[in-house]
C-alpha cells in the first residue's frame, strides 16, 4: 500500500495540477515531497537483513493473460527508489524560476514521468515493468521538445525513436518469455516466478539458445537507455537540449533504468545467457566487459574533446556508466556491489554536475568552456561546490564516486584482467578533462564580460547541498548505501554461481 501510494501520488498530483489554477504554485511544488517523505520512511524501515522482496502488493489485473499488479522492493529497487524520490523535489526547485511558459503542463508531465520511474523500479511483473518503462517516454519527449534548447525538436524525436526501437525488441523478448513460461493458461509474467522457472532444470526457459536470444532482446532495450556504445548517440543531443532539471532526471534516473533492467531481468532471469556473454571465453564471452570498457574509454575521450560544458558532462556520464557495465559483467560480489553503488553515486554526482552547468548557463546564457575564465574570484561558493562535484566525479578517494568505481574495477579485475587495466585509462582521462575544465572556467584572468556575474543564489544552493552532503557521506561511509542491497547482491551472486 505504501509503495502504491508512493508510485501513484505523483499521478494524482498530475491530475490536481491540471485542475488547479496556476496560482496554487506552492501546492504544486510540494507534491513531490510526499514520495520523498515516504522514501525516507522506507529507508528507515527497510529490513536490511533479508534478500526477499518487501512491501509486496500482488493483485490480479488482466486475468486473461495472468497479468498481475505485482510490486515490491528488494535492496536494489529501494536504492533507486530513494534516488528517484530525492531527485524529484530537487528538480522541482531547480525548475521553479527557470521554466517560464506553461508551468502547469511542465509540472504535470514531470509528475507523470516520476510515476513512470517509481513504478518501474518497484514492478515485479514483467508486463507492468514494461508499461512503466514506456510510460516515461512520452513525458520525456514533450519535456525536451517544448522546454528545450534551439535544437530541441531534433533531440526529442531522436530520444523517442531510439528508445522506442530498443523497447520494441524488448517487447518481442518479453512475449517470447511469456509464451515459453508454460502451457496456455499457465503462462505468467511474474518476475520472481520466471526467475525460478529459468533456473529449473528442463524447463523451456532454462535453455541456453533461448536465453541468448531473449537476453539480446532485453539487452538492446536497456542498452539504448544506459546508453551503451553504439546506442549512445541520442544522449549528448538530449542532454544539451533538455532544460536543466530534465537533464538531471535523464542522467540521474533514466540511465539507471537501463542498468537496473540489466540486473533485474538480464542477469537474474537469464543466467545462462549472461554466462554466454561474460564467461571470459572467446569474443562473446568478453563482449559485455568489452562494451563496458568501450563506454569508459570512448566516453572519456569524447568528453575531453568537448568545449560545451553540458556536452562534456553528458559524455562523462557515458564513461561513468561504463563502470557499471564492467562491474556487472564481473558477476561477483564486489563487482555487482560496486556497480549498484556506482548507479546511485552517479545519479547524485551527475545531478550535481547538471545543476551546476544550469546555474552557469542561467547567468551567462552560454556553455562554452573556453568563453569563461577566472570565475573563481567572482563566484567563490559556486567554484567550491563545482570543485567538490568534479572531484567526486573524477574519483577522488574520500568522495562517493571513488568507492563505486574502485569496487567495480576490483571485481572486474578478477574476471577480465586486461580489459580492467585498460579501463583505468578512463579514470586518467576523466581527471584530465575535469581538471582542465576547472582551470579554463575558474582559474586565470576574469573575462571582463562576466565582472557582474551574480553569485549562486539560495535556491540553487538548496538544490545542491543535499547532494553534496550525500557525496561526502557516502565517500566516507559507503556502507550506509551498501547495507541496503548487500543481501540482494549475495542472493543474486549465489544464483549466478550456481550455473
Buried b / exposed e over 202-227, threshold 16 CB at 10 Å, is: eeebbbeebbbbbbbbbbbbbbbbbb
Taking the least distance from each CB to other proteins, the nearer of 160 and 372 is 160
Taking the least distance from each CB to other proteins, the nearer of 76 and 242 is 242
Taking the least distance from each CB to other proteins, the nearer of 94 and 214 is 214
- The number of residues in the chain equals 499
Say whether residue 8 binds other proteins (CB under 8 A). Answer: no
Q: CB within 8 A of 314, min separation 6: which ones?
A: 235, 236, 239, 240, 247, 251
8 Å CB contact between 417 and 384 = no
Taking the least distance from each CB to other proteins, the nearer of 216 and 324 is 216
Say whether residue 304 binds other proteins (CB under 8 A). Answer: no
Q: How many CB atoms lie within 10 A of CB 36?
A: 18
For residue 489, give the C-alpha cell: 547482491
* CB 144, min distance to other proteins, A: 10
Choices 126-134, 360-368, 379-387, 440-448; region in contact with other proteins by CB under 8 A:
126-134
Say whether residue 130 binds other proteins (CB under 8 A). Answer: yes
For residue 138, give the C-alpha cell: 512520452
Taking the least distance from each CB to other proteins, the nearer of 176 and 473 is 176
8 Å CB contact between 203 and 136 = no
Taking the least distance from each CB to other proteins, the nearer of 9 and 493 is 9
Give the largest Cα separation in the chain, rounded: 74
* CB 39, min distance to other proteins, A: 24
For 230, list phi and psi in degrees, rounded to 5: -95, 25
For residue 462, give the C-alpha cell: 538548496
Write out the binding residues for other proteins, residues 31-70 only, by CB under 8 A: 61-65
Say whether residue 22 binds other proteins (CB under 8 A). Answer: no
Integer Cα distance of 378 and 356 in angstroms: 15
Integer Cα distance of 78 and 343 in angstroms: 13
Integer Cα distance of 129 and 123 in angstroms: 5
Say whether residue 364 binds other proteins (CB under 8 A). Answer: no
Buried b / exposed e over 401-429, threshold 16 CB at 10 Å, is: bbbbbbbbbbbbbebbeebbeebeebbeb
* CB 369, min distance to other proteins, A: 29
* CB 440, min distance to other proteins, A: 34
Give the x/- contact pattern for other proteins in 309-328, rule: CB under 8 A: --------------------
For residue 92, give the C-alpha cell: 522541482
Taking the least distance from each CB to other proteins, the nearer of 141 and 298 is 141
Choices 70-78, 134-142, 225-233, 256-264; region in contact with other proteins by CB under 8 A:
134-142
Strands 54-62 and 67-73: antiparallel
Say whether residue 135 binds other proteins (CB under 8 A). Answer: yes
The residue from 138, 364, 438, 461 that contacts other proteins (CB under 8 A) is: 138
The residue from 142, 260, 298, 413 that contacts other proteins (CB under 8 A) is: 142
Write out the binding residues for other proteins, residues 102-121 only, by CB under 8 A: 102, 105
Write out the binding residues for other proteins, residues 164-223 only, by CB under 8 A: 164-165, 168-169, 171-172, 175-176, 178-179
Give the DSSP H/E element, type plus range, for residue 55: strand 54-62
The residue from 72, 89, 145, 335 that contacts other proteins (CB under 8 A) is: 145
Q: Radius of gyration (Cα) for the chain, nearest Å?
A: 22
Binding site for other proteins (CB under 8 A): 61-65, 102, 105, 130-131, 134-135, 137-138, 141-142, 145-146, 152-153, 156-157, 160-161, 164-165, 168-169, 171-172, 175-176, 178-179
Amino acid at each position: 500500500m505504501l509503495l502504491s501510494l508512493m508510485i501513484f501520488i505523483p499521478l494524482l498530483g498530475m491530475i490536481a495540477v491540471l485542475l488547479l489554477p496556476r496560482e496554487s504554485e506552492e501546492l504544486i511544488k510540494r507534491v513531490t515531497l510526499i514520495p520523498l517523505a515516504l522514501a525516507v520512511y522506507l529507508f528507515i524501515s527497510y529490513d536490511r537483513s533479508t534478500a526477499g522482496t518487501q512491501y509486496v502488493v500482488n493483485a490480479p489485473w488482466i486475468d486473461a493473460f495472468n497479468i498481475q499488479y505485482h510490486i515490491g522492493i528488494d535492496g536494489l529497487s529501494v536504492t533507486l527508489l530513494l534516488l528517484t524520490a530525492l531527485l524529484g523535489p530537487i528538480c522541482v526547485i531547480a525548475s521553479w524560476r527557470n521554466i517560464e511558459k506553461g508551468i502547469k503542463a511542465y509540472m504535470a508531465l514531470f509528475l507523470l514521468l516520476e510515476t513512470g520511474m517509481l513504478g518501474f523500479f518497484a514492478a515485479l511483473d514483467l508486463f507492468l515493468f514494461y508499461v512503466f518503462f514506456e510510460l516515461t517516454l512520452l513525458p520525456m519527449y514533450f519535456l525536451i521538445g517544448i522546454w528545450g534548447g534551439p535544437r530541441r525538436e531534433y533531440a526529442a524525436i531522436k530520444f523517442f525513436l531510439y528508445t522506442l526501437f530498443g523497447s520494441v525488441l524488448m517487447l518481442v523478448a518479453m512475449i517470447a518469455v511469456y509464451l515459453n513460461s508454460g502451457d496456455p493458461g499457465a503462462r505468467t509474467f511474474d518476475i520472481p516466478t520466471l526467475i525460478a522457472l529459468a533456473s529449473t532444470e528442463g524447463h523451456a526457459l532454462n535453455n541456453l539458445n533461448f536465453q541468448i536470444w531473449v537476453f539480446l532482446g532485453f539487452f538492446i532495450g536497456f542498452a539504448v537507455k544506459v546508453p551503451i556504445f553504439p546506442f549512445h548517440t541520442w544522449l549528448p543531443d538530449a542532454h544539451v537540449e533538455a532544460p536543466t532539471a530534465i537533464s538531471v532526471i535523464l542522467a540521474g534516473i533514466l540511465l539507471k533504468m537501463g542498468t537496473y533492467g540489466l540486473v533485474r531481468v538480464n542477469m537474474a532471469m537469464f543466467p545462462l545467457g549472461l554466462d554466454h556473454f561474460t564467461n571470459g571465453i572467446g569474443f562473446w564471452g568478453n563482449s559485455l566487459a568489452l562494451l563496458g570498457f568501450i563506454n569508459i574509454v570512448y566516453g572519456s575521450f569524447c568528453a575531453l574533446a568537448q568545449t560545451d560544458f553540458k556536452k562534456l558532462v553528458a559524455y562523462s556520464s557515458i564513461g561513468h556508466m561504463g563502470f557499471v557495465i564492467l562491474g556487472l559483467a564481473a558477476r561477483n560480489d564486489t563487482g555487482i556491489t560496486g556497480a549498484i553503488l556506482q548507479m546511485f553515486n552517479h545519479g547524485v554526482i551527475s545531478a550535481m554536475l547538471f545543476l551546476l552547468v544550469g546555474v552557469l548557463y542561467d547567468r551567462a546564457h552560454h556553455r562554452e568552456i573556453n568563453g569563461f575564465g577566472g570565475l573563481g574570484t567572482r563566484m567563490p561558493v559556486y567554484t567550491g561546490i563545482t570543485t567538490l562535484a568534479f572531484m567526486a566525479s573524477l574519483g577522488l578517494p574520500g568522495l562517493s564516486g571513488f568507492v563505486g568505481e574502485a569496487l567495480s574495477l576490483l571485481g572486474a579485475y578478477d574476471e577480465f584482467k586486461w580489459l580492467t587495466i585498460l579501463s583505468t585509462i578512463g579514470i586518467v582521462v576523466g581527471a584530465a578533462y575535469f581538471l582542465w575544465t576547472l582551470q579554463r572556467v575558474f582559474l586565470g584572468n576574469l573575462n571582463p564580460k562576466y565582472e557582474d556575474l551574480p553569485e549562486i543564489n539560495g535556491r540553487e544552493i538548496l538544490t545542491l547541498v543535499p547532494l553534496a552532503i550525500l557525496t561526502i557521506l557516502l565517500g566516507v561511509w559507503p556502507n550506509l548505501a551498501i547495507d541496503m542491497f548487500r543481501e540482494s547482491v549475495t542472493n543474486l551472486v549465489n544464483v549466478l554461481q550456481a550455473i
